[in-house]
Structures are given as structure tokens and as C-alpha cells.
Amino acid sequence: MKRIVFLTGAGMSAESGISTFRDSDGLWEQYSVEEICTHEAWLAHPAKLLDFYNMLRRKYMNCKPNEGHRLIGSLEDMFDVYVITQNLDNLHEQGGSKKVLHLHGEMMKSRADGEDNGIHYPLDPANPDIKIGDCNAQGVQLRPHIVFFGEAVPNLEKAAEIVSTADIVVIIGTSLNVYPAASLITYAPGSASIFVIDPKPIRSPYREFTQIQKGASEGMRELIDHFL
């Protein structure tokens, strides 16, 4: 069975109502990265960051997977499918994907402040907020299980290993000029077929690829037609 590896970014979930950060109407137009998405900001004013991510979590927690997510999940009948996503949502899992690696963390989990030791705490959908004073059993303050700008990406090495075993790589909703997708594509075997699904023209200095210049769901339909 061939292995197909999906690398997905914000454009994957846009059709589900989750705003991208970098587009003109994205979240970075409304909030400063330095204020709500750096380790320095967390140390300086943790309550402000918790309030922001509590708001974001409540805003998006009821979003549903779109057709693109579900089509990726459906391919598990024909391929050994891995999904490597930069997204914080769990829409791939809801869409039926069983092997999902989150590069930048997960919105519905928390972890103790300090180094990421792999111990994460699922948040209760009925009460998903994290507050100052919420601690683990050792009394350490809990924070969102999110990789802030400037922090290491713990799963990057594992992601590179997965890409290095791919027969097919499909990149959806993330630019090939933005870390880490730009670096991960270099690990794909020379024999691997590479597809990019994105409505905007994409260029890469690293590898040749076939672009399907459409959104996630429409692009996945065309990709499946290509395979079938």
C-alpha cells in the first residue's frame, strides 16, 4: 500500500470558518504577534494570553470538518495516510484521519508551563477555559498546548521522518516559502510525487510539483479524480 503524506496549513480549515492568520482579514490584522503568540509575552502577561486563547477556543470549538478533511479521511481505504498539520484544530481527526501529527500543538489541550515533556491534558468542551491558578498535580501553571513563536517545534523531526517515507506528498493551504512546510518538502524522496492544493499561485525553490489551483475541498475532489 502506497504511503500518502498530507502537509496542511491554515487554508485547509478556512472553509470550516477558521480564520487564517496571514490573510488580509486574518487574526494578525487584529492582534500583534508579539502580544499574544510569543514566549516572552506569556512570561510578561500570561493572563492576557490565556484570555485570548480562551476566546479563540470558544470561537472555533464548534467548527466542523469540511469536505476536504473528510476526503482525506476517506483515502485511508486506499493508502497508508499520514497527516502533518500546522493547524491547532482537530478537524482532521473529526474528518476520519487516524494518524495526525500536530506541529504547532492542539487548541483543545493544555500542558504545564516549561519544557514540553509530552504530557498533555485534554480540555473539557463544556468548560474549555484555562485560568491563572489552573495547575497540574505538581502545582505548575497550565498553559495552552501551543508552540509560540520562538519556541522549538518538538514534532518537526518526527514529521521529517514521516515525509522521508512518502510515495506521494500533498500540501494543502500552506505556502512552500513558509517554515516549516518549506523545510519538510526537502525530506521527500526523489521518487515521490508532490501535489500542492492552493487557490493562489505557489512557487518552490526546492522541488518540482503539480499544483491544483483550487481551495481545499474542490482541490481534493480533483486530486481523488486524478488517482482514481
- What count of other Cβ atoms lies within 10 Å of the Cβ of residue 121? 14
Q: 18: which DSSP letter?
A: P
Max distance between CA atoms of the chain, in angstroms, equals 54
Active site residues: 104
**Spatial distance between the Cα atoms of 176 and 189, rounded to a whole number of angstroms:** 17
**Spatial distance between the Cα atoms of 172 and 195, rounded to a whole number of angstroms:** 9
Query: What's the Rg (C-alpha) of the chain?
Result: 18
- What count of other Cβ atoms lies within 10 Å of the Cβ of residue 81? 24
